[in-house]
Structure 1
Amino acid sequence: MELLGTTTIFLLVCISCLLLFTTWRSTSQKQKQPPGPTTLPIVGNILQLNLSNLPESLKKLSKEYGSVFTVYFGPQKVVVLYGYDAVKEALIDQGDDFSGRGNLPLFKKLLKETGIVTSNGETWKQLRRFTLTTLRDFGMGRKSIEERIQEEAHFLVERIRNTRAQPFNPANFLVHAVANIICSVIFGDRFDYEDEKFITLIDLMDENNELQSTVQAQIYNFFPTVMDYLPGPHQKLIKNTEKFYEFTLGIIAEHQQTLDPTCPRDFIDAFLNKMHQEKGNSHSEFTTETLSRTTLDLFLAGTGTTSITLRYGLLILQKYPEIVERMQKEIDCVIGRDRSPCMADRSRMPYTDAVAHEIQRFTDLIPFNVPRSVIKDIKFRDYFIPKDTMIFPMLSSVLHDSKEFPNPEKFDPGHFLNAKDLSLFQTLDFYYFLLAGKRVCAGEGLARMEIFIFLTAILQNFTLKPTVDHKDIDISPIVSALANMPRPYEVYFLPR
């Protein structure tokens, strides 16, 4: 009897497995998933990709598999969306479905999924709602933040003037100026350019930008469990990020000691007030750790991309002195030399506005956009995409779309000017959809203000003189897995 019982159980298990297999196979045939290259065990498609120029590899795959396809980075499955139509359909038309944050193991290790950038679900919704409201309360998108940018532009111009027309790399000057804008919002004040804590913070950020591009950091995303036990630059990256958190925790502690709940000075004070309001809620998303992570998210997001865009923009403008000359004529005509640029000037400066937009398009700073994920099982076009699948909405494929931008590999402000009347700025609907969607950067409007005001203030006061013949300047990016970076350079800022 015992033997018969064991045999019966074995047969039932076998039949169950067979039924499950049959059901899975039937379901997988009915629910067609996006195509892609053949994968290998463990490594996935890594051997078929050029990790030093991943955007180019994915561009080639899109020609073979279409605008929606699948690749495997080690065991990690990723669905790639390539081209304007596919990206818009996902991020705008089905924005709710694609509103999750993709789970990159390195980001998860560094940011702990507690800040606004990497969190998901209810945590993300509450943090984003609070952050947007608080940033508006402290001037984001209003005249008060514009005045802070103008003040910082004045400090930047004077700092450049003190170089006395000697060549130098403007990277640090630009990152310090941009960082001070977001610092004034989240920390309550700007830093002196020589402040040791401030310099240390910027140095850590610069070092981390380089470390994120190393091979070891990329491999971490594929095999995090193994890489946790191996030495390398990824370990330095993790330690540096913890130093960031120690810095923010120190400022939070100072704010707690001097907090006046009736008069919040900045984002941290507002968050501390929210924590106090939810003190009795054991499930509250508003904790000291979340504050520390969100503060760091805002600092990094509000500093890195804008300062790099400005640095890249000044490199590009050195190559095209005729563009600078035309911009300066427009600046002199509309603003003159005696007052600071303001956002109200932009509508009367179509060429300068077009140049600023073209800089952002051409630099294509984050080719993959920030990875997304689908929050439930969905149907996208003719394909089934399971819940939590990571999504790469290729921003590069939109910004370099030859249908929308003739000769997209060329830097041409005409891309944003009316073809019939070059004195008119051309609003492109498909370009601005990138500024919409569920997870658009909270500081997008701030970044556009900074780029316009800083760039205009610099060219109002200085002419750029390269250290080499302008025809020999290489404006192609240094490509990494995460971002396109400008090549290092020095430049003379000659007073006008």
Structure 2
Amino acid sequence: MLSAVLVLSVLALSLLIAQFLKLQWVGRRFPPGPTPLPFLGNLWTLNFRIDRDNLIELAKPYGNIYTVWLGQTPIVVINGYEAVRNSLTSHTDVFALRPGMPYFQKIFGENGIVFSNGHTWKQQRRFGLTTLRNLGLGKRSLEMRILEEAQHLVKFFAVQEGKPTDPYMSVVNSVSNVICAVVFGHRFSTDDKLFLRLIKSVNLVTRFPGTTWGWIYDVFSPLMPLLPGPHKKVFGCWEEVRSFVREEIKLHRERRVAGDPPEDLIDYFQDEITKTKNDPTSVFYENSLITVGLEFFLAGIDTTSTSLLWALLYMVEYPDVQEKVQKELDAVLEPSEIICYEDRKRLPYTNAVIHEVQRYASILTGVGRQSLKDTSFQGFFIPKGTIIFGNLTSALYDPEHWETPRQFNPSHFLDKEGKFVNKEAFMPFSAGHRVCLGEQLARTELFMFFTSLLRAFTFHLPRNEEKKISSDYVLGTTVHPLPYQICAVPR
């Protein structure tokens, strides 16, 4: 018995040593970085999560371009505005592929827009952009839909009568109904129990990738179906969300009369399925419709609602900024005037504050690409198939482009005369040909929700609130603030 244990111990130790030496040998081809451990790679070094602080800190000893290992997979991390921008624009043809991370492959497959490549990606992205324009993006009709949802949110806060409330669910409900109108053609009541359950499932699915279990899943994905853990619940929730979208597609097919013009994304996609049914290269079929619908739904909820939650938190933390925004709104807009996105040009300080919220919150840590071929980048050799991770936060916090990168400072977007100025290092939506498809929609939503709320209320912490505002965050697909309560006092 003792000899068997000894043999197994020697074998295990030999395996660990062999794996360690293999990583050292293979790692010589990549930019330098922290020493990886056998099987775990640098997960231990990263505290089992890749967040903006870890990635920026690692640039100090290893430089703006370094390698970290997720298990046995090397990832080249790129930091700093110049390098990140260069990787996404100048090298866009080389770093063109979206890498297949196991978790996202499991839930999306190779369909859709965000995680597809090649012909599928080109066709689906073109469809997405065209459909958004057809549904009113950049036009007053869609703005009025956004404003309607903003007013629902205003009414929610008004009912609270200045009492402490957690804004999370109300913000998510209102924002989600904008994208529901785009994808499904209708909104959902905040009392709809099925919809509320759906939102909670979406929240679980989008936050899982940033958890310790999320990274363990990606590293040990072949073993995870055999093991218990929270991933089982996550995939159960995901199936509920898929079933919801599948049912919406079925209802559209049953209710729509032949010849009726399309009214939402599902209608437009089903028309494409009909047009291309005899094309063997077509990427339009029901499974891809489900994926595209889910991508729009998840991205449309998560990004804008998270940005708005950070915006409200910052207004509480910086009451002087909130006051200046309200003074500008009062001076420029008539009390009964209906806000529109074009008004941002008349509201330079408000516009600067919204941009600074996006910069400072940096809700999307980075974007993943994969090298199509062996190449040289910034003096480093990048082998074919290598995953490249452009750290967007490092661009938004780059001290060479921002006067006070670690402070909330709307003056970053104002000149000496108080006029709004764009900054080249402002890239929260990424850059290049895979720039966020919904960028304009997200900008419009954030502006109209934010101004509607600040015109109606002054936000502050609950009185005698001992808990300080926390700068910590919850890492998921995006960076969420910790739960908090605020008071909305009618103006």
| Common topology (TM > 0.5) | yes
Asked if 1:106 is matched to 2:103, the reply is: yes
Alpha-carbon distance in structure 2 between the residues aligned to 1:306 and 1:458: 15
Counterpart of 2:489? Answer: 494
**CA shift in 2, pair 1:382/1:359, >3 Å:** same
Asked if 1:385 is matched to 2:398, the reply is: no
Asked if 1:441 is matched to 2:439, the reply is: no
Q: Letter of the aligned partner of 2:369 in structure 1?
A: R
Structure 2 unaligned segments of length 5 or more: list them: 1-25
Give 1:287 deviation, angstroms.
1.0
Contact 2:302 2:478 in 1 (8 A): no
Give 1:350 deviation, angstroms.
0.7
Asked if 1:467 is matched to 2:462, the reply is: yes
Contact 2:364 2:428 in 1 (8 A): no
Report the 3-state secondary structure (helix = DSSP H, G, I; strand = E; otherwise coil) of the residue aligned with 2:389: strand
Give 1:197 deviation, angstroms.
2.7
Quick check: 43-52 or 404-413, which moved more? 43-52
Counterpart of 1:186? Answer: 183
Give 1:319 deviation, angstroms.
1.3
Report the 3-state secondary structure (helix = DSSP H, G, I; strand = E; otherwise coil) of the residue aligned with 1:101: coil
Alpha-carbon distance in structure 2 between the residues aligned to 1:150 and 1:95: 37
Give 1:102 deviation, angstroms.
2.1
Alpha-carbon distance in structure 1 between the residues aligned to 2:236 and 2:108: 12
**CA shift in 2, pair 1:458/1:295, >3 Å:** same
Alpha-carbon distance in structure 1 between the residues aligned to 2:265 and 2:204: 26
Partner of residue 141 from structure 1, selected from 128, 131, 138:
138
Alpha-carbon distance in structure 2 between the residues aligned to 1:350 and 1:475: 28
Structure 1 unaligned segments of length 5 or more: list them: 1-27
Give 1:261 deviation, angstroms.
4.2
Quick check: 472-481 or 346-355, which moved more? 472-481
1:287-316 deviation digits (Å, cap 9, x = unpaired): 100000110000000110110110111011
For these two proteins, the number of residue pairs brought into alignment is 465
Quick check: 69-78 or 158-167, which moved more? 158-167
**CA shift in 2, pair 1:455/1:32, >3 Å:** same
Alpha-carbon distance in structure 1 between the residues aligned to 2:375 and 2:143: 42
Q: Letter of the aligned partner of 2:112 in structure 1?
A: G
Counterpart of 1:290? Answer: 288
Contact 1:351 1:425 in 2 (8 A): yes
Counterpart of 1:451? Answer: 446
Counterpart of 1:117? Answer: 114
Give 1:232 deviation, angstroms.
0.8
TM-score (norm 2): 0.90
Partner of residue 125 from structure 2, selected from 111, 123, 128:
128
Asked if 1:215 is matched to 2:215, the reply is: no
Alpha-carbon distance in structure 1 between the residues aligned to 2:293 and 2:460: 38
Alpha-carbon distance in structure 1 between the residues aligned to 2:169 and 2:360: 22
Give 1:222 deviation, angstroms.
0.8
Contact 1:477 1:484 in 2 (8 A): no
Contact 2:352 2:420 in 1 (8 A): yes
1:222-267 deviation digits (Å, cap 9, x = unpaired): 1101122111111111111111111101000111112334411111
**CA shift in 2, pair 1:385/1:42, >3 Å:** same
Counterpart of 1:66? Answer: 63
Give 1:397 deviation, angstroms.
0.4
**CA shift in 2, pair 1:463/1:302, >3 Å:** same
Counterpart of 1:424? Answer: 419
Alpha-carbon distance in structure 2 between the residues aligned to 1:164 and 1:476: 27
Asked if 1:313 is matched to 2:346, the reply is: no
Quick check: 466-475 or 191-200, which moved more? 466-475
Counterpart of 1:337? Answer: 335
Contact 2:367 2:391 in 1 (8 A): no
Contact 1:334 1:345 in 2 (8 A): no
**CA shift in 2, pair 1:154/1:480, >3 Å:** closer
Report the 3-state secondary structure (helix = DSSP H, G, I; strand = E; otherwise coil) of the residue aligned with 1:98: coil
**CA shift in 2, pair 1:34/1:315, >3 Å:** same
Report the 3-state secondary structure (helix = DSSP H, G, I; strand = E; otherwise coil) of the residue aligned with 2:372: coil
Give 1:465 deviation, angstroms.
2.4
Q: Which has the larger radius of gyration?
A: 1
Asked if 1:45 is matched to 2:34, the reply is: no
Counterpart of 1:9? Answer: none
Alpha-carbon distance in structure 2 between the residues aligned to 1:480 and 1:269: 35
Give 1:379 deviation, angstroms.
2.4
TM-score (norm 1): 0.89
Alpha-carbon distance in structure 2 between the residues aligned to 1:339 and 1:435: 34
Q: Letter of the aligned partner of 2:450 in structure 1?
A: L
Alpha-carbon distance in structure 2 between the residues aligned to 1:187 and 1:154: 21
Q: Which runs of 4+ in 1 moved over 6 A?
A: 469-472
**CA shift in 2, pair 1:298/1:261, >3 Å:** farther
Give 1:481 deviation, angstroms.
6.3
1:17-67 deviation digits (Å, cap 9, x = unpaired): xxxxxxxxxxx99x9532223333322222332235643332232222222
Contact 1:350 1:425 in 2 (8 A): yes
Asked if 1:480 is matched to 2:478, the reply is: no
Counterpart of 2:15? Answer: none
Alpha-carbon distance in structure 1 between the residues aligned to 2:281 and 2:342: 45
Report the 3-state secondary structure (helix = DSSP H, G, I; strand = E; otherwise coil) of the residue aligned with 1:414: helix
Report the 3-state secondary structure (helix = DSSP H, G, I; strand = E; otherwise coil) of the residue aligned with 1:162: helix
Alpha-carbon distance in structure 2 between the residues aligned to 1:435 and 1:389: 19
Q: Letter of the aligned partner of 1:389 in structure 2?
A: T
